Amino acid sequence: MIAAAARAFRRRGVHATTLDDIAAFLNVTKPTIYYYVAGKEQLIFECFRIGIGRIAAAMDELADGAGCGREKLAAIARRYAEVMASDFGWCMVRVEDHDLSAPVARRLKTMKSAIDQGLRRFISEGIEDGSLRECDPKMAAFALAGALNGIGHWYRAGESLSLDEIAGRFIDLFERGLAAGELVPIAAGRASTG
pLDDT in tens, 140-153: 999 999 999 988 87
Do the domain assignments include residue 132?
A: yes
Q: Is the pLDDT of residue 191 over 60?
A: no
Q: Please calculate the CA angle 187-147-117 and round it to the nearest 5 degrees.
A: 85
Do the domain assignments include residue 56?
A: yes
- How many separate domains does the chain show? 1
Confidence of residue 80 (pLDDT cuts 50, 70, 90): very high
Dihedral of the alpha carbons of 111, 116, 121, 122, in degrees to the nearest 10:
110
Do the domain assignments include residue 37?
A: no
Do the domain assignments include residue 3?
A: no
- CATH assignment at residue 142: 1.10.357.10
Q: Is the pLDDT of residue 87 over 80?
A: yes
Range of the domain at 116: 48-174
Do the domain assignments include residue 111?
A: yes
d(CA 188, CA 21): 52
Q: Is the pLDDT of residue 133 over 80?
A: yes
d(CA 76, CA 142): 14
Do the domain assignments include residue 23?
A: no
Do the domain assignments include residue 13?
A: no
Do the domain assignments include residue 92?
A: yes
Say if residues 155 and 85 touch (Cβ distance below 8 Å): yes
- When the pLDDT of each residue in the chain is averaged and rounded to a whole number, the result is 87
Which amino acid is residue 113, in one-letter code?
Answer: S
pLDDT in tens, 134-184: 999 999 999 999 999 988 878 777 777 887 788 888 888 888 876 666 656
Confidence of residue 76 (pLDDT cuts 50, 70, 90): very high
Burial of 96 (0-12, 13-18, 19+ CB in 10 A): exposed
Say if residues 75 and 167 touch (Cβ distance below 8 Å): no
What does DSSP assign to residue 28? S
